[in-house]
């Protein structure tokens, strides 16, 4: 919506999709190769890994069918392109040749099944793995612009992590925030709203599940 007037593209939504602890963290402290989400950060995502829609996205059968699973499926179906930060894609922040996870955390057949735009200052040719294409772009605004072009008639999902989410919030590039509030208090780590000012928010949806509260906000 924000872009529509300037890029001539159809009405399309750019939304943040991220899990946050009740005390506002999207990753725990001390992120490492072994614990890329920091101490306690993995717990935040416990709600999602057993769901049938998440498992299906990752090429597995089975799993739970519930309100969470429906919501994950709905989010997958509306996403035409993803934008993520360098750390959500891989382990390093330096040049690619120094990165032990240069092809990403997500394996040889990543679950994104389409275009992913990775925000990084380090230039690199696109990387095709399975049905996922990673394109490396310098700057959040340019990454979202390219994602909007690639998304077809679907929407653009900003998947995290915290830094890219903050940049998108502060640049006013988001139409919606989909925040999954996990019932954990981490006490430290990366805050979603550290020095971020999203402007006026309107709560448009709240979905209860046994594990997490799904809150959707429209950015005014």
Binding site for its own copies (CB under 8 A): 22-24, 179, 181, 183-185, 187, 191-193, 195-198, 201-203, 205-213, 215, 217
For residues 146 and 151, give the distance between their C-alpha atoms in angstroms, rounded to a whole number. Answer: 9
Query: Does residue 26 contact residue 20 with C-beta atoms inside 8 Å?
Result: yes
Q: How far is the CB of 185 from its own copies (least distance, A)?
A: 5
User: 3-class DSSP state for residue 70?
Assistant: helix
Residue written as token pair 């996403």: 79
- Shortest distance, CB of residue 174 to its own copies, whole angstroms? 12
Nearer to its own copies, 49 or 206 (CB): 206
C-beta closer to its own copies: residue 123 or 185: 185
Nearest CB to its own copies, comparing residues 36 and 183? 183
Residue 178 beta carbon to its own copies: minimum distance, rounded to whole angstroms: 13
Question: What does 87-137 look like in DSSP terms, one character per residue?
Answer: HHHSS-SS-GGG-TTTT-TT-SS-TT-SEEEEE-SS----EEETTEEEEEE
Shortest distance in whole angstroms from residue 63 CB to its own copies: 20
Q: Please identify, using beta-carbon distances, which residue of 83 and 212 lies nearer to its own copies.
A: 212
Which of residues 172 and 210 has its CB atom nearest to its own copies in the complex? 210
Judged by DSSP in three states, 160 sits in strand
Q: Least distance in Å: CB of 170 to its own copies?
A: 11
CA 26 to chain centre: 11
Coil, strand, or helix at residue 78? helix
């Amino acid at each position: 919506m924000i872009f529509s007037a300037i890029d001539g593209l159809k009405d399309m939504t750019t939304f943040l999709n991220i899990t946050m602890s009740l005390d506002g963290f999207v990753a725990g402290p001390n992120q490492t190769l072994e614990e890329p989400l920091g101490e306690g950060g993995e717990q935040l995502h416990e709600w999602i890994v057993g769901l049938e829609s998440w498992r299906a996205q990752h090429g597995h059968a089975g799993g739970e069918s519930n309100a969470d699973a429906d919501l994950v499926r709905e989010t997958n179906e509306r996403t035409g392109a993803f934008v993520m930060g360098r750390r959500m894609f891989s382990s390093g922040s330096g040049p690619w040749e120094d990165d032990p996870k240069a092809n990403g955390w997500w394996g040889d057949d990543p679950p994104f099944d389409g275009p992913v735009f990775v925000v990084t200052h380090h230039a690199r040719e696109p990387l095709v793995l399975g049905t996922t294409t990673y394109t490396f772009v310098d700057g959040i605004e340019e990454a979202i612009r390219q994602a909007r072009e690639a998304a077809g008639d679907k929407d653009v999902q900003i998947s995290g992590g915290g830094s890219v989410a903050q940049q998108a919030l502060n640049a006013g590039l988001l139409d919606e925030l989909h925040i999954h509030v996990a019932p954990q208090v981490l006490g430290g780590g990366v805050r979603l709203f550290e020095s971020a000012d999203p402007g006026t928010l309107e709560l448009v949806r709240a979905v209860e599940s046994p594990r997490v509260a799904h809150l959707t906000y429209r950015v005014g």
